[in-house]
Structure 1
Amino acid sequence: MEIYQIRTFLTVARLAHLTRAAEQLHLTQPAVSKQLKALEQELGVVLFERQVGGMVLTREGKALLPLAERILFDAMEMINQARTLRGEVAGAVSIGTVIDPDTIRLGSFLSALLNYFPKVQPRLRHGISGWVLERVKAGELDVGFYLGPVTDPDVASLPMCNLTYLIIAPPSWEQRMQTASWADVAAMPWIGTPEGSSQNRLVRTMFAERGLTVQTVVEADQEASMVSMVRGSVGLATMRSDLAQDARQRGEVYIWEGTAQECPLSLVYLASRRDDLLVAACRKALFDVWPAD
């Protein structure tokens, strides 16, 4: 029995799909099938049933899954401990980023990471918060910056700060907004953000708590575009407080008072990888840049 066979078994079990597992493992589908078959022959049991929707664990596969996870964890722990003993933390680390680099202090974070661990090779991938979280859970990102509350028990997080979001409107709507109720605001046209983004979730939650939904007329994923559309009277939007205040000073937006909404910013990673050296390296660098209060 080889460690790579255990890793393949766990990957297929998690993704329930041979092709996607092969892509994540950087192998061909026949190679993945061959590794599974060899493992099944050695164990003397069938681990998966092939179904139309993908690969489904058998009763035996489900029973052996926790043992396989423990074996792989212990193997990685041994490798990490050996690296620690010889003073080496090295390798590529995939980092998911969100919003703008200055807000998450990305430059300072990477500087601290490379200062402590010069053999680490950061690989950055940018996206919305929901995308980052899913990639972390799928094992495609080692760590990621994330906006929003973390409720998944499989995901651990290191709090960084709370960002404040405000509702902004076209300056020409100021008189209209001053007398508007929450129901009035919900009925106005809205500039939405992609499903899975922190602002999308924030707006839905904010209005759902009041039994309301908003009317989205256009979707945007860049804050500069949102400011431009608000200025052009396309609709309302939510905006980070610092950006909203700057836009108001330039006369580009009106801020609906009394609507500040807090959104936590954190670094997320799989709870099962808490002691992984690359994850631990990122955590150490983060503590330097975002010290605990």
Structure 2
Amino acid sequence: MELYQLRTFLTIAEEGNLTRAAEKLFTSQPAVSAQVKQLEEELGVKLFERSARGMALTREGKMLQEKARRIVEAARDFKHSAESLRETVSGELVFGLNNRPEVLKIVEVLGALTSEHPELNYDLVNGSSGTILEGIDDGSISIGFFEGVCEFPRIESHVLEPIELCIAAPAAWARELSSPDWKVLETKPWIFVSRACSYFRAIESICSDQGLKLQQRFRVDECLTVLNLVAEGLGLTLAARNHIEAPEFQGRIIALPHFQTTVNLSIGYLRENADRPAVAAARDVVLGLWKNDLAARDSSVTRGRGIRAARPKGRSHR
């Protein structure tokens, strides 16, 4: 019996659904199903009743649930205690990523960490903001990026920068959608993201504010897939402007003028783990990179203003 099998058992018990459990565990549904089947075979008891509505614990499953939780938590505490005894920052850091690598500066983050702490290993997992936050809260993710509001009281977070959101549309629809008419948008197919994503809550806010009933034709968990569907003319979605303006979507996707808002990109971790060497190292590197980047941008703006101020007065030539 492996710890990951117990974690899978507990996650399915909490979610009651294989698909949602797989999303939370950052794996596939067949893998989750195989793990729980192997556990049942090894234990010799049936843990779940399977139905069209989902997965429900059997009487035996309910009796074993709390014992499994104590084992997983004890193993986590044991690992954390061992990490605190090391003289160097080492072990494994599970990093949650909710956005494109260039947005999260993940190459720079990992470059700085591996240079400063060569004995530290990494497990990078991708998911929506809500899934990342759930993973941090239950201890399966050490530290992670997320967008929007954190509603988990045990999580400590630091705002890094605002992310601008707008409606993404196929470039072929540009003329038809040039005027901000919400009723026209209501007739178009929409591509929704996971309910665990902060963008989904933003779409819900649009519908509530405008009294709309949008046509959800697709629901996709991964943002790059969403934008590829938009680029192929299959629907509208809400997306970060920096995604829409990525080189691969130039001339294929446009940002509509109907709606614009911002959500904060943040880094978060369990407050009780703030002093864990690996978590503290990752936090400090991330905050340092964003602080330096902000200082560089401010310096660039200041230099630009200085250049304009130094121009001689007189007629301009166009």
Normalised by the size of structure 1, how large is the TM-score?
A: 0.68
Structure 1 residue aligned with 2:190? 190
Does the CA contact (< 8 Å) of 1:220 and 1:226 recur in 2?
Answer: yes
Shift of 1:110: 0.9
Please tell me the residue identity of whatever aligns with 2:103.
Answer: T
Q: Deviations over 1:73-107 (max 9, x none)?
A: 8x999766654xxx422211111112211110001
Shift of 1:118: 2.1
List runs of 5+ in structure 2 lacking aligned partners.
1-6, 14-20, 22-31, 33-38, 41-57, 295-318
Structure 2 residue aligned with 1:128? 128
Does the CA contact (< 8 Å) of 1:247 and 1:253 recur in 2?
Answer: no
Q: Work out the CA distance in 2 between the residues paired with 1:231 and 1:95.
A: 30
Structure 2 residue aligned with 1:139? 139
Q: Deviations over 1:182-216 (max 9, x none)?
A: 34423421012223123323222332333434211
% identity of equivalent residues: 22
Does the CA contact (< 8 Å) of 2:90 and 2:121 recur in 1?
Answer: yes
Q: Work out the CA distance in 1 between the residues paired with 2:244 and 2:153.
A: 34
Structure 1 residue aligned with 2:53? none
Give 3-state SS (helix, strand or coil) of 1:256's partner: strand
Shift of 1:269: 1.2
Structure 2 residue aligned with 1:236? 236
Shift of 1:224: 4.3
Structure 2 residue aligned with 1:166? 166
Greater mean deviation of Cα atoms: 171-180 or 144-153:
171-180
Q: Work out the CA distance in 1 between the residues paired with 2:282 and 2:82.
A: 18
Give 3-state SS (helix, strand or coil) of 1:291's partner: helix
Q: 1:54 to 1:174 in 2, by over 3 A?
A: same
Q: Work out the CA distance in 2 between the residues paired with 1:171 and 1:77.
A: 51
Q: Work out the CA distance in 2 between the residues paired with 1:16 and 1:195.
A: 18
Q: Work out the CA distance in 2 between the residues paired with 1:217 and 1:232.
A: 14
Please tell me the residue identity of whatever aligns with 1:212.
Answer: L
Q: Work out the CA distance in 2 between the residues paired with 1:236 and 1:126.
A: 23
Normalised by the size of structure 2, how large is the TM-score?
A: 0.63
Higher RCO structure, 1 or 2 (CA under 8 Å, sep 6+): 1
Please tell me the residue identity of whatever aligns with 1:265.
Answer: L
Query: How do residues 52-71 of structure 1 correspond to structure 2 at under 5 angstroms?
Result: 54=62
Q: Work out the CA distance in 2 between the residues paired with 1:123 and 1:289.
A: 20
Shift of 1:180: 4.3
Please tell me the residue identity of whatever aligns with 2:62.
Answer: G
What is the CA RMSD across the aligned residues, in angstroms?
4.3
Give 3-state SS (helix, strand or coil) of 1:145's partner: strand
Q: Deviations over 1:234-279 (max 9, x none)?
A: 2111222123235798321332115222121111211222222221
Q: Work out the CA distance in 2 between the residues paired with 1:15 and 1:138.
A: 10
Q: Deviations over 1:33-77 (max 9, x none)?
A: xxxxxxxxxxxxxxxxx967725999xxxxxx9xxx9xx98x999
Structure 2 residue aligned with 1:35? none
Shift of 1:15: 7.5
Please tell me the residue identity of whatever aligns with 2:136.
Answer: V
Structure 2 residue aligned with 1:40? none
Structure 2 residue aligned with 1:150? 150
Structure 2 residue aligned with 1:113? 113
Please tell me the residue identity of whatever aligns with 1:176.
Answer: E
Q: Work out the CA distance in 1 between the residues paired with 2:181 and 2:106.
A: 39
Structure 2 residue aligned with 1:92? 92
Give 3-state SS (helix, strand or coil) of 2:174's partner: helix
Q: Work out the CA distance in 2 between the residues paired with 1:142 and 1:249.
A: 33
Q: Work out the CA distance in 2 between the residues paired with 1:237 and 1:265.
A: 19
Does the CA contact (< 8 Å) of 2:180 and 2:258 recur in 1?
Answer: no
Structure 2 residue aligned with 1:256? 256
Give 3-state SS (helix, strand or coil) of 1:257's partner: strand
Structure 2 residue aligned with 1:286? 286
